[in-house]
């Protein structure tokens, strides 16, 4: 195809995609049926992971729960069964350990079957300024929040590719889009998670595997306990999010194949401004919005669900 024809094609498709997006502001997208799908959720022992498990359970899925908290997973499994899950399986797994991820993944494939919806949700935060954070905590943050996604994809993506069917869900963070004072290692890990999910999604499209969907979730602070001590300067613009609300929005995004989910809606505008404003203006806006936090770090190194 020559330059002229390809340019015309891009212009026409751009117009169509824009019109389609505008239409869906008023006409809801059709939700897909995921009954019978096998859903794996990391960090499922508490918080958003537990709430997502209950939401998926109500849709008739088979659940596979991973966490380092055995008792937490037992409670999640109990609640998921009460919510209507066909089957619930749970496994102890430290997602920061590549060999353990591969080993437990093999066990899952033998005992449950292939995973068709993978939700990378496990995460930790140190809550220390960069120069105050011990090297071991920085390494752990990156291993859990970013590298674990590499290993779970390696373990479960081949079956999705073979079937050209599946859904990859990355519970990232608004801190994966905008730097936050006092969260350097956390932001780095979340920027990595977002970039990784985007890149693999593009790889799949380029290879013709359009049956495998990607959803990247970037919420602001969520009231799960992981960010105790965080406050919002302008609660109407950037509210501390309710966990139940976030879980329901994530499930809806999966059911409608939504690629990006930013919460609250104001994050779409804030993220866009960050990418076009001059640096001093960006810093001024960040200060105005309150992207400067002090965090209660009681939950350091607890592999638990978080959303920020």
Beta bridge partners of 90: 65
Burial 43-78 (b: 16+ CB within 10 A, else e): bbbbbbbbbbbbbbbebebbbbbbbbbeebbeebbe
d(CA 9, CA 11) in angstroms, rounded, equals: 5
Q: Which of 80, 57, 216 is nearest to 149 (CA)?
A: 216
- Mention every residue, 6+ apart, whose C-beta is less than 8 A from residue 26: none
Q: 91, 153, 186, 260: which is the annotated catalytic residue?
A: 186
260 is known as an active-site residue: no
Site of tokens 């994809």: 153
Contact of 168 with 156, CB cutoff 8 Å: no
91 is written with which tokens?
Answer: 């496994």
Give the closest residue to 192 by CA, choosing from 176, 168, 173, 211. 176
Catalytic residues: 186
């Amino acid at each position: 195809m020559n330059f002229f024809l390809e340019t015309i094609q891009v212009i026409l498709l751009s117009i169509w995609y824009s019109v389609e997006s505008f239409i869906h502001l008023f006409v809801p997208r059709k939700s897909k049926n995921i009954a019978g799908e096998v859903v794996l959720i990391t960090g499922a022992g508490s918080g958003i992971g537990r709430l997502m498990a209950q939401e998926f359970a109500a849709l008739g899925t088979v659940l596979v729960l991973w966490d380092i908290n055995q008792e937490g997973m037992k409670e999640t499994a109990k609640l998921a069964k009460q919510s209507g899950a066909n089957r619930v399986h749970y496994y102890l797994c430290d997602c920061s350990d590549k060999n353990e991820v591969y080993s437990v993944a093999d066990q899952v494939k033998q005992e449950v079957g292939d995973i068709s919806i993978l939700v990378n949700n496990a995460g930790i935060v140190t809550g220390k300024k960069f120069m105050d954070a011990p090297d071991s905590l920085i390494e752990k943050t990156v291993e859990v929040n970013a590298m674990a996604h590499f290993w779970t994809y390696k373990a479960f993506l081949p079956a999705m590719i073979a079937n050209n069917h599946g859904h990859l869900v990355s519970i990232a963070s608004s801190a994966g889009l905008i730097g936050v004072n006092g969260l350097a290692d956390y932001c780095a890990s979340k920027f990595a998670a977002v970039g990784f999910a985007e890149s693999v999604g593009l790889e799949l499209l380029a290879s013709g595997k359009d049956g495998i969907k990607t959803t990247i979730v970037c919420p602001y602070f969520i009231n799960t306990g992981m960010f105790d001590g965080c406050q919002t300067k302008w609660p109407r613009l950037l509210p501390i999010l309710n966990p139940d609300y976030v879980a329901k929005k994530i499930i809806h995004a999966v059911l409608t194949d939504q690629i990006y989910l930013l919460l609250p809606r104001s994050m779409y505008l804030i993220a866009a401004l960050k990418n076009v404003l001059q640096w001093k203006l960006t810093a001024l806006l960040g200060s105005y919005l309150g992207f400067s936090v002090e965090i209660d770090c009681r939950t350091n190194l607890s592999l638990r669900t978080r959303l920020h």
